[in-house]
Structure 1
Amino acid sequence: MYVDPKKMKAARDRRALTQEALASQARVNVRTIQRAESGHPIQAETLAEIAAVLGLPPSGLIVPGPVKEQEVLAAEADEGQTQVLKRVDSGEMIIATLERSLMVVLGCSAEPTAETMPALRTLIKTLERLFRDPCDVEKSPPLTFYSLLDRLDAVVALNTALADVERNGMALFMATSTAYVKVPYRGEEGYMITRTGQWPEYVTAARFMIAEYQSERIRVSKEVRWPLSEEDIPSSSGWPSTEVDGLKPAADDLDGDIPF
């Protein structure tokens, strides 16, 4: 998959990310970022992770033209309706991901037993305390810490829970992707709402899965129930430039509150 170096560098600059920072957040080698920005091909799953960090769909980073967009679609078709998740063993990495994610889901494919359930329970509770619901007025995403000590405590708790799970033959796997959704906001009555005419936005979605630890990666079905419904992503040729620049329509264009 060939990335457009100008698009990728511009997107990275907008996020104020160095190549090293982008590589860290996307969980790839910095050499991969350097190669992509030099015009060398990268794998489709790697492109998806990089695009998620940059807040764009994968097609938003490739060389312009319908032929290249078809390459992205073809690569996704070759993989089938599946997604690759990588093992994560760092509480800091989990926290950093949650701090930039609007939607989060957690699953478990490992068969629980009386022996493994205590470790599973601890990890799941530790993670779920950090998850934020985009439809919750009090705990809307992304995850935010107002105390450095609270953040460090959360990292330690995650690292402890991850190590315990791995001692029981399981591991936590994670992947990020870009979703195109209508982002709820707080309405005048205090509820989280969206509007019928509201423009969708590109957001980061994080998926976690606890599975048997047999390899560093697992492939799972893409079928997942996100907290918000995904909208159809428009083609690059048919999308107004104002949306690309992150602008929204005037308030008068939005009507039809949809409360949560």
Structure 2
Amino acid sequence: MIVDSQKMKSARDRKALTQEDLANKARVNVRTIQRAEGGAPIRHETLADIAAVLGMPVSGLLGRGNHEELGEPKTPWEAEMQVLKRVESGEAVVSGLERAVMSVLGCSAEPNAENMPVLRSAIKLIESLMPSPWDEEFCAPLTFGSLLDRLEAVANLNGCLVELEGAGLALYLAVSTELVHVPRRSDEGLYVRSGQRPEYVSAVRLHISDYGSDRVRLDPVEKWPLETFGDDDKVPF
């Protein structure tokens, strides 16, 4: 995806961040920031991480010429839908969840006697890697106790993708930035305090569907683990 260089530089200046500062906070290489501000295309997932740090939605950084990347919507109704890309490696899922404050998993595949064992196995595996922002023991974002644990998770997901494809199914993924109240940790547990300002965070949407094109369009998520606010919403403080 191609960002609007001026929008990105202005947003970075408002946060008083150097390119190096932004790269560190978004956990990307400084060259990625330099290329993005120079007009080079970057991955949507990377842009979502950058947008979250800058405190704005991905759409606030986009330049013109991104329709081909996302797939040109044919109707106004399609323009409101979210584009998810087919997952080709377990690494894409793990790296996304390692940055996400919240995630959701959906399925539109019709279950039957033949594909249900594959669906059951895939959903159990994926859900085991999806921390909840309200779970003190397994709180988002996803972390691993060791490199071996991470490699095993990626390997298990790769095997899961093969099984899904064999059943005529596929896993799709989208990363977005959402405006939410992020729970804070205290000795008494997780909480959202009165007067707390909402923040833009990275969010991952995963969806199992019939194997078809490289992209699917879905209606926006109705319910995230955290309440979300639109840019024009009156946020309760």
Q: Is residue 47–residue 58 contact of structure 1 (8 Å, CA) maintained in 2?
A: no
Q: Report the number of matched residues.
A: 209
Deviation at 1:136, TM superposition (A): 1.1
For 1:203, the equivalent position in structure 2 comes to 201
- Partner of residue 4, structure 2: 4
Q: Secondary structure at the match of 1:15?
A: helix
Aligned to 2:217, the other structure's residue is in SS state strand
CA–CA distance in structure 1, aligned partners of residues 172 and 202 of structure 2:
17
TM-score relative to the length of structure 1: 0.70
Partner SS state of residue 192, structure 1: strand
Provide the rounded CA distance (Å) in 2 between the counterparts of 1:21 and 1:139: 31
1:129-166 per-residue CA deviation (whole Å, 9 max, x = no partner) reads 11101011111110001211111111111111110010
* SS of structure 1 residue aligned to 2:196: coil
Q: How does 1:94-243 map to 2 (within 5 A)?
A: 94-189=93-188, 191-233=189-231
Query: How far is the alpha carbon of 1:107 from its aligned partner?
Result: 0.3
What's the offset of the Cα at 1:3? Answer: 3.3
Q: TM-score, normalised by structure 2?
A: 0.77
Match of 2:66 in 1: none
Letter of the structure 2 residue corresponding to residue 133 of structure 1: S
Residues 216, 59 of structure 1: alpha-carbon distance in 2 compared, 3 angstrom cutoff: closer
CA deviation digits over 1:188-220, x for unaligned, max 9?
Answer: 42x211012001111001000100011110000
Q: Which amino acid aligns with 1:15?
A: A
Identity %: 45
User: Which of 15, 25, 29 is matched with 2:23 structurally?
Assistant: 15
Larger radius of gyration: 1
What is the identity, as a one-letter code, of the residue corresponding to 1:5? Answer: S
SS at 2:228's partner residue?
coil
**Who is 2:68 aligned against?**
none
Q: Structure 1: give runs of 5+ residues left out of the alignment.
A: 23-32, 64-74, 236-254, 256-260
Please give the root-mean-square deviation of Cα atoms over the aligned residues, in Å: 3.1
